[in-house]
Amino acid sequence: MTITDTSQGRTGPLAGIRVVEMVGIGPGPFAAMLLADLGADVVRVHRPGGGGLQITAPEQDLLGRGRPSVALDLKDPRGVETVLRLVEKADVLLEGFRPGVTERLGIGPDDCLARNPALVYGRMTGWGQDGPLSQSAGHDMNYIAVAGALDSLARRRDDAPTFPMNLLGDFGGGSMYLVTGVLAALLSARTTGVGQVVDAAITDGTAHLMTMAVTMQQAGIWDGRRGTNLLGGAAPFYDVFETSDGRWMSVGPLEPQFFAAFVELLGGELPGQYDLKEWGTLRTEIERRFAERTQAEWTEVFDGTDACVHPVLPLAEAYEHPHNVARGTYVEHEGTTQPAPAPRFSATPATLTTPPVAPGTNTRDALTAWGIDDVESLIADGIAVQTDPDTTEEDPS
């Protein structure tokens, strides 16, 4: 059967790529969102009623944007068969369950690659598909802790480690490595006709992100302790400083020419930049001077210079920063402020499409568009669930 165009006017470098997303939480949906942002035709497969950790209503969760939602009962053989029929038409499948779950459901790598030998099967987990912890529960902070990243994340030696929300593990070490692996495997499949499994573990990705820190530790430049890394708060010229109104400025003039500009604009006459014995005095003096003016006043002083000093903005203020406004970094779409697709492409620009929806909102239309010809029977028998988008209840039709 010919597949109906489900692109909904999509643009971007991945237009024409089809992805089946077995919906999970956090890094998996973010990876699928990124692929959809860049033009891929992604269909979300939810369990009836959704499930899993939800921080907000599904219709408000921007991680679900740009993809239709299908609800299927995977405990029923016909639901499993429907997923495999989607796989036959797909380029990529993404899943983020514990190792072995999709195998038990009948939609594991062997099952899917038997239907579509060129499929890229992307697996997103915290610990990876094997190893002593592979079957253990965990979250971002656990993964970056074991990977060796969390221990160093503190500005001062005696401070407790500070975790950067779930940016480093879930999205940096997880989602971005899953997407990188999927795109590399997809390119290989297009060349060879042979698909493969991509095992993306947050611990692996986070460790890979630590390459520069490992270099510094192995070379003896950094002793590995908190508060002693040049880029981790040890240097008084790479830190944040409080202003008179209780706000903060980010200060990062690492290079001598930038530090010279910083010294001049801060008021002149500071101890030498790389005289380690003077770092305590240097920090104290920088703290004193920043405490004399408000954030807005210091922002005006350093604006447009090479001193590498900028205000630390709350998220709501970042929306309105002139640079972000000029680039359209945050955009208003479907009544909601949200990040624009990134990165930017000169020949195949990406655009936002549909807003996030409740699980099962698009079951009938999306399955039909993907060439599933017994949709009405699946809905009538409760294998597929069509949700009424106005009530988020199951549609009895």
User: What is the distance between the alpha carbons of residues 54 and 106, in angstroms, rounded to a whole number?
Assistant: 26
Helix axes 27-37, 176-192, angle to 10 degrees: 60
The number of beta carbons lying within 10 Å of the beta carbon of residue 74 is: 19
Closest to 59 measured CA to CA, from 362, 384, 369: 362
Query: Token pair of 363, please?
Result: 């079951």
DSSP 339: E
Q: List the beta bridge partners of residue 303.
A: none
| Contacting residues for 375 by C-beta, under 8 A, at least 6 apart | 363, 364, 367, 368, 384
Judged by DSSP in three states, 261 sits in: helix
**Which candidate in 139, 208, 321, 333 is catalytic?**
139
Any idea of the CA torsion for 163, 164, 165, 168, to the nearest 10 degrees? -100
Please check whether residue 195 is in contact with residue 116, taking contact to mean a CB–CB distance below 8 angstroms: yes
Please check whether residue 203 is in contact with residue 193, taking contact to mean a CB–CB distance below 8 angstroms: no
Q: List the beta bridge partners of residue 42.
A: 19
Query: Token pair of 140, please?
Result: 């971002």
In degrees and rounded to multiples of 5, residue 228 shows phi and psi of: -120, 0
User: What is the distance between the alpha carbons of residues 290 and 270, in angstroms, rounded to a whole number?
Assistant: 13
Residue given tokens 């971007």 in the structure block? 12
**Which candidate in 140, 170, 199, 239 is catalytic?**
170
Query: Token pair of 235, please?
Result: 């240097």
- Active-site annotation holds for 310: no
What DSSP assignment string belongs to 45-108? EEPTT--S--SS-GGG-GGGTT--EEEE-TTSHHHHHHHHHHHHT-SEEEE-SPTTHHHHHT-S
DSSP 321: -
Q: Which residues are catalytic, by number?
A: 139, 170
